[in-house]
Chains A and B, each alone.
Chain A
Amino acid sequence: MKNIIFLSLLTLIFAIILYEHNYSGVAYNPLFHKEGETSGSINAMPCGLGGSHNHKH
């Protein structure tokens, strides 16, 4: 019973993530930048200060 409740909760969370993905979409891919873009300078470390622009990596 405990497992069923836990897995149902996980299913709900995963469903919300999938719904949100469908709703928001990917306007700008933080890993790819643009299709065909080859510059590594847009790479970003996702920590507190944000990306490379804020970090001066």
Chain B
Amino acid sequence: MVTLKKVETPVLFFGIIFILLFAYITHSSIGLRHLLVFLIGIGLGFSLYKSSFGFTGGWRNFIETKDSSSLRAQFAMLGLAVIVFSFVIGSKSFVYDGIIIGAIAPVSISVVVGSFIFGWAMQLGGGCGSGTLFTAGSGNTKMVVTLIFFIIGSLVGTYHFSFWSSVPSLGAISLLDNYTKTEVLIFQLGLIIFFYWLVSYFDKKNNKKFSQFNIFNFKNTNIIRGAWPLILGSVCLVFFSFLMLHAAGHPWSVTFSFGLWGAKIITLLGVDVSNWTYWQLSYPAIALENSLLADPTTVSNLGIILGALIASALSGNFSNQLPINKKLLVAAIIGGFFMGYGARLAFGCNIGALFSGIASGSVHGWVWFLFAFIGSYFGVKTRKYFY
């Protein structure tokens, strides 16, 4: 068992004060659903930090050493989410009087290119969409740099939107719209189980210490302050995603807000983005017109940052990081920028496109997974020049 460090009380109080402030403002000036989305975001950030649930490191571990622990936890999460989402999408929310929708996006060249770029860049940046947020929230300065350039890359991606929306596309393919729920479940779960078996096979073949149960191991019995096993992270992320579906009416998404934050910043600097094609689409136009706190992805992202901050303060690990050098900073800048750009081309990141896409039965989620993994393979090779 790992010994726990002292709680960082000032950081904890800082987090609690801002949680209370944002909770009050979202509820009083926007509404109950925004408050719920914010609280769910806190739960997501807490769970991501506690279980160190990152796609980047997990994929890298498998590419480099065939360690499949993190990938197995991700497949377990996907399997569970596929079951939950297939029953929830299209049904009525228990929070408001409306129908819950899935994350369905086109299968296009832009998804292929964007996910490849994203997968490559996340190995340089050191975190994916959710990973960048929770590590930045836990006081990692390098990831703050990654986040800043993630925002810039997203903004450039929105500028190039009209070009990428004109590339060849098969259109949106929703499995749930074309096949029965049972057929979709059998197909998706079959694919996930196959991948789970495949990565386990390679791990077992290459590592003598392979254990199918290592993702269940608790490093500490204190669930509030200690680290969680990966599988607990998987279960909690699906649970909070389920709540997100009911509160927001759509699956968990991260990167839309990054482009929005960038657009808001350059608008403040005097650049008019409202005439860009992307910002004339219905949802982005509404988001640009409103305050940032009216955007549900912004609210959930703020929750993730504060949830991770609270979790790291309770663990006594806030701002605990390796020293940063120039090479790492360059990697953070390149990685952040191209993750942002890639996410806009690919209709989301590892959360909005991969997790929410696959769970919603959208074929673009699987295409995203395949090309992001290939991109990550090359990203791991490139990473060696910086880390």
Contact = CB atoms under 8 A, between A and B. Distances in A.
Contacts of A57: 101-102, 104
Interface string B25-64: 1000111011001000000000000000000000000000
Size band of the interface chain B makes with A: 35 or more
Interface residues of A, number: 41
Interface in A17-57: 17-18, 20-32, 38-41, 43-57
B295 A46 contact: yes
Contacts of B100: 40, 43
A54 B282 contact: yes
A42 to B, nearest CB: 8
A7 interface: yes
Label chain B's interface by main secondary structure. helix
Interface of B: 8, 10-11, 14, 18, 21-22, 25, 29-31, 33-34, 37, 92-93, 96-106, 139, 141, 144, 157, 161, 165, 172, 248-251, 253, 255-257, 264, 278, 281-284, 286-287, 289-298, 302, 305, 309, 318-319, 343-348, 352-353
B172 A56 contact: yes
Contacts of B165: 49
B98 A40 contact: yes
27 contacts: A3-B11, A3-B319, A6-B141, A10-B14, A21-B29, A23-B291, A24-B290, A24-B291, A26-B29, A26-B291, A29-B290, A30-B287, A31-B249, A39-B98, A40-B97, A40-B100, A43-B98, A43-B100, A45-B102, A45-B103, A45-B250, A46-B296, A47-B352, A48-B157, A48-B344, A53-B282, A55-B172
